[in-house]
Structure 1
Amino acid sequence: MKFEHLIEVNDLANPLLTVLSREEVWFGLLCRAEDSRAFLPGLERCTILERKEGELLRELNFGQVSIRDRVLFSELEWISFESEATAEHAGGKLVISIEEPEAGVLFLRFVYSTSLPDANGSEEAKYADIVRSAYHQSDIDTMKVIRMIAESGRLQ
């Protein structure tokens, strides 16, 4: 299954919303790579197994379920999470890229590729819709966490 969507970072028409810089958004994405517990409900432990330039190998523990993934990134541009398929997890890839069509107008593009089938049958289609909806909500929550991280680091 492939799925992608955009999340607006800065709503310039809303004066109550703090405008985030590309650097603040990037820092939030790096926080997600270093320790995803604030971003993934149910994640109990995030262990970095290996660290290289522009790459992390991690183990994510959700109770009895353990998932390994590889995080690749290009600074201030994109970050990719690729998880291995297991009996408990379908595996897949998520790429989050920062897009800035105009100065200060930031979006995060989330692109998912999973081993789940692109469903045409009724039951499979319903399941795919549920998964897409869950991904979308998770990405909205990711933006909320990034915003909280950025705002907590600002001087008042």
Structure 2
Amino acid sequence: MLRFEHIIQINDPLVPLLTPLTREQIWRGLFIRAHQPTEFVMGLEGCVIENEIEEAGRTILKRVLDFGPFQVHDEVTLTPMQEVTVLAAATRLWPRCEATIRIEEPSPGDFFLRFIYELDLAEGHSDLDETSVELRKQAYLAADMDTVQRIRELAESGKLLH
């Protein structure tokens, strides 16, 4: 099992050039990311949402992500204003993996996004060497920084309003 976790500060009073975001704006950005991942994920050619259900106050999406040479089937659970969890089942090309993005607010208006990745490297996917693991972690971090930047762009353009 490979687990990687990191946190990105959203609002920083020491950086006045960063426009503060509200929990609603952050949530709306994560909601859009789940429904329109091609706006956020480089190399993703398409996404089909096969099913969307409301269950126990959460929304569950079953998606097919088209990366051109291969497809990934995943399930996204959106817990409003709190977190998004993406679960991708293992295939012969891809280990079972789970990614969670959680909105944290240690003090009022002081928002962070916590990103947690867990890859099940059992069952034929355990051949990641230390360099591959480090490269994967760097890729996650870069993608997550891009996600935050994209949410900021959407907020500045007014697209995160209801």
Q: TM > 0.5 between the two?
A: yes
Task: Select the residue among 55, 58, 79 that pairs with 2:84.
Answer: 79
SS at match of 1:59: strand
CA distance in structure 2 between the aligned counterparts of 1:6 and 1:116, rounded to whole angstroms: 23
Task: Select the residue among 62, 70, 74 that pairs with 1:69.
Answer: 74
Coordinate RMSD, CA, aligned: 1.3
Q: Which amino acid aligns with 2:39?
A: A
Task: Select the residue among 125, 149, 152 that pairs with 1:144.
Answer: 149
- Structure 1 residues without counterparts, runs of 5 or longer: 118-122
CA distance in structure 2 between the aligned counterparts of 1:24 and 1:102, rounded to whole angstroms: 17
CA distance in structure 1 between the aligned counterparts of 2:154 and 2:75, rounded to whole angstroms: 23
Query: Corresponding residue for 2:31?
Result: 30
Q: Write out per-residue CA displacement over residues 114-156 of structure 1, whole angstroms, 9 at most, x where no aligned residue.
A: 1237xxxxx71111111111111111111001111111117xx
SS at match of 1:85: coil
Give structure 1 regions of 4+ aligned residues with deviation exceeding 4 angstroms: none
Number of residue pairs aligned between Structure 1 and Structure 2: 149
Shift of 1:90: 2.0
Query: Corresponding residue for 1:98?
Result: 103
CA distance in structure 1 between the aligned counterparts of 2:60 and 2:117, rounded to whole angstroms: 19
CA distance in structure 2 between the aligned counterparts of 1:56 and 1:66, rounded to whole angstroms: 16
Instruction: Report the TM-score when normalising by structure 1.
Output: 0.91
Shift of 1:27: 0.2
Q: Write out per-residue CA displacement over residues 82-118 of structure 1, whole angstroms, 9 at most, x where no aligned residue.
A: 112112222300010000001111000000001237x
Q: Which amino acid aligns with 1:40?
A: V
Identity level (%): 38
Q: Write out per-residue CA displacement over residues 15-39 of structure 1, whole angstroms, 9 at most, x where no aligned residue.
A: 1111000000000000110010121
CA distance in structure 2 between the aligned counterparts of 1:88 and 1:142, rounded to whole angstroms: 25
Please show how residues 1-156 of structure 1 align to structure 2 within 5 Å.
Answer: 1-53=2-54, 54-116=59-121, 124-153=129-158
Instruction: Report the TM-score when normalising by structure 2.
Output: 0.88
- Structure 2 residues without counterparts, runs of 5 or longer: 123-127
